[in-house]
Chain A
Amino acid sequence: MLAADRLIAAALMALSAYFMWHATVLPIGWNGETGGPGGGGFPFWLSAIMFAAACGILLKTFRSQARSGTFFDLSMVRSVLAVVIALVVTIALMPIVGTYIALPLFLFWYLRIFGRHSWAVTVPITILTPVFLFFFFEVTVKILLPKGFTEPLFFPLYAFFF
């Protein structure tokens, strides 16, 4: 728990330093070009406060008594990691194979393999969700979802619904 706390505080300090570096591209001082702070002023000084606060958090972990308990329950963290990886793979696949392959694959993995549901639950949800998404987003709200190389398959559907 303590190690994780320190790690997060340190990561936040690094992040705010990165923000500060980015912010210096524009003037950060008062009266830079106008009557108030310059374009980099807000992000720079707020990042500086964030840096100081994160620093404070880090220092506090050294002073206080170690908090009991572990940050991660190891058996559970594996589930979380699996879901995160599946999510990343799905998002990466979306522009290539299209929403209507990537999302059913994800649902199938989640329900059948990760959630150990029966086929009777898995199959209808895996098939009906994309159908619902198509009708809700594309036909009704007219927002096209990424299709990747499956796009030609949709031309007849477009011709029919639009």
Chain B
Amino acid sequence: MEMFAHLADGFATSLSPLNILIVVLGVTAGLFIGAMPGLGSVNGVAIVLPLTFVVPPSSAIILLAAIYYGAMYGGAISSILLGIPGASTAVATTFDGRPMAQQGKAGLALIAAAVASFVGGTISVILFTLFAAPLADIALKFGPAEEFALVLMAFTTFVGLGGDDILKTIVMICLGLVLSTVGLDLISGQPRLIFFDQPGFYSGISFLVLAIGVYGIGEVLYTIETSKTAPAVTPAKITLKELGLGLREMNKLWKTMTMGSVLGFFVGMLPAAGATPAALMSYGIAKSTSKTGRTFGKGNIEGVVAPETANNAASTGSLLPMLTLGIPGSPTTALLLGGMVMWGLVPGPMLFIEQPDFVWGLISSLYTANFAAVAINIALIPLFVWALRMPFTVLCALVLVLCIVGGYAPSQKMHDVWLIAGFGVGGYLMRKADYPMAPLVLALVLGPLMEKSFRQTLIAERGDVFAFIERPLSGTFMALALLFFLLPLINYLVKGAKRKIAPAE
């Protein structure tokens, strides 16, 4: 068992006192960076990357893993407390996390998110340890047609997410998809939808801008109108007893967590997909299979657990194609890849053979970082919950300031700050008229991937639309997509049939 010997070596280095200190510092820094709307793991990794050239390479990897994990955990914090997803991976966490916080269960939601992240991270690291090499071949089989089928599947798991008004849901999906096409058309290389000839539109409309606008500013405006004086949030308390209660409740959710972890790992592993579709699909599947599926979106703890296990599992999964194929699945892994190249490592199929020290050092530090992240996160929950007890007007003022600065930070353009204000006001008005916001945001996230893979396939197959069903992998996904689309209907019919039988008995 050569693998375990390597892993043991890796642990020997990652558990030295210096490296434990590095993990603690890295995780804490990552947690705060991830919790800040607008900043995420990509910023954390970008900052520490130059630093890693002054510390020994083994410690450098550990620092990067710690920041990466810390930021992934942190993303859930702003989703739950403020209702603003700090990164696209944490969108689905807001659906139930935010209502839980409003019901005064912020502490419970945060614990659920932390534990779920831990479970997702751990299961996927184990899968990674055991199957890294064979899985790389599956990732290679994924071409544009399979990507399209996968995105379609992610979309269909979300059919039920919109409001009751189907027309309004359609409007929002289309709006999100159209906004996602702003900027450059990859296929023809031509700019499109450059409104008012503003150069800011060349880079398209980023997910963060829309999410901060709609969920951040829109939400604040909505709350100001509905309750200027009375806080909408039930003050949250957190006690040890509650912590134990939370952990016990988590115990019942093993099925959801396992499903989320495995799904997250596999979807995250596919180069183009990544953590966002993984989290969304996990949420969608949990919703349609759960016994309490009806209360999803109204503060169901399962609705926090499902996406959080999946997005953490996916961010571990996305390291796989980076290491074994040299393809980054996300901006963060792209930066990590750049760092590896600077250390003189060549990512690709030979890395596991030529540089086992590096690979197993990284894997073992993923285990340690994951442990440190869950411990530090839970320890800090009282602090985060305490922040929610601020007077409402103070909290609103600070959230607005964070929205402005957080919107500016990723691109460093005032253009984006104006867009945020615009989306905020527009989103507020549309929300008042019962237009659902989730489909809009999701469409913007998945839109570019969908259009790109659709058109790539058609170019490669020279306009043959049957290519999507003829290829075995994409055909399977298309069938699954259809199933997910029909599942709510089947569910309904089955329940209807049961109801008919019941009185007869």
| Interface presence of A119 (CB below 8 A) | no
Interface contacts (Cβ under 8 Å), in number, total 183
Q: What A residues does B244 contact at CB under 8 A?
A: none
Interface contact A79-B225, CB-CB below 8 Å: yes
Cα–Cα, bound, A106→B460 (Å)? 54
- Across the interface, name the chain B residue whose C-beta is closest to A143: B409
Interface contact A80-B408, CB-CB below 8 Å: no
Cα–Cα, bound, A19→B175 (Å)? 10
Cα–Cα, bound, A142→B412 (Å)? 12
Evaluate whether A84 and B221 lie within 8 angstroms (CB atoms) in the complex, with A91-B404, A94-B414, A107-B401 already known.
yes
- Across the interface, name the chain B residue whose C-beta is closest to A32: B188
| Interface presence of B292 (CB below 8 A) | no
Binary contact readout B220-259 vs A (1 if CB under 8 angstroms, 0 otherwise)? 1100111010000000000000000000000000000000
| Interface presence of B487 (CB below 8 A) | no
Query: B400: which of A4, A15, A19, A110 is its contact (CB, 8 Å)?
Result: A110
- Across the interface, name the chain A residue whose C-beta is closest to B414: A95
Q: Main secondary structure on chain B at its contact with chain A?
A: helix
CB distance from A38 to the nearest CB of B (A): 7
Evaluate whether A117 and B394 lie within 8 angstroms (CB atoms) in the complex, with A22-B192, A35-B461 already known.
yes
CB distance from A68 to the nearest CB of B (A): 14
Evaluate whether A94 and B417 lie within 8 angstroms (CB atoms) in the complex, with A43-B181, A76-B225 already known.
yes
- Across the interface, name the chain A residue whose C-beta is closest to B405: A133
Interface contact B178-A115, CB-CB below 8 Å: no
Q: What A residues does B409 contact at CB under 8 A?
A: 137, 141, 143, 145
Interface contact A88-B421, CB-CB below 8 Å: yes
> Can you sample 25 A-B contacts with CB below 8 Å?
A8-B433, A12-B175, A16-B175, A22-B193, A26-B185, A30-B463, A36-B458, A43-B192, A46-B178, A46-B181, A50-B174, A53-B167, A57-B167, A57-B171, A76-B224, A80-B224, A80-B225, A83-B220, A83-B224, A84-B221, A106-B397, A107-B401, A114-B393, A117-B394, A140-B29
Q: List the 3 closest A-B pairs by CB distance, nearest first.
A: A36-B458, A115-B393, A50-B174
B residues adjacent to A (C-beta < 8 A): 29, 32-33, 36, 39, 43, 47, 165, 167-168, 170-171, 174-175, 177-178, 181, 185, 187-188, 190, 192-193, 195, 217, 220-221, 224-226, 228, 391, 393-394, 396-398, 400-401, 404-405, 408-409, 412, 414, 417-418, 421, 424-425, 428-430, 432-433, 435, 451, 454-455, 457-464
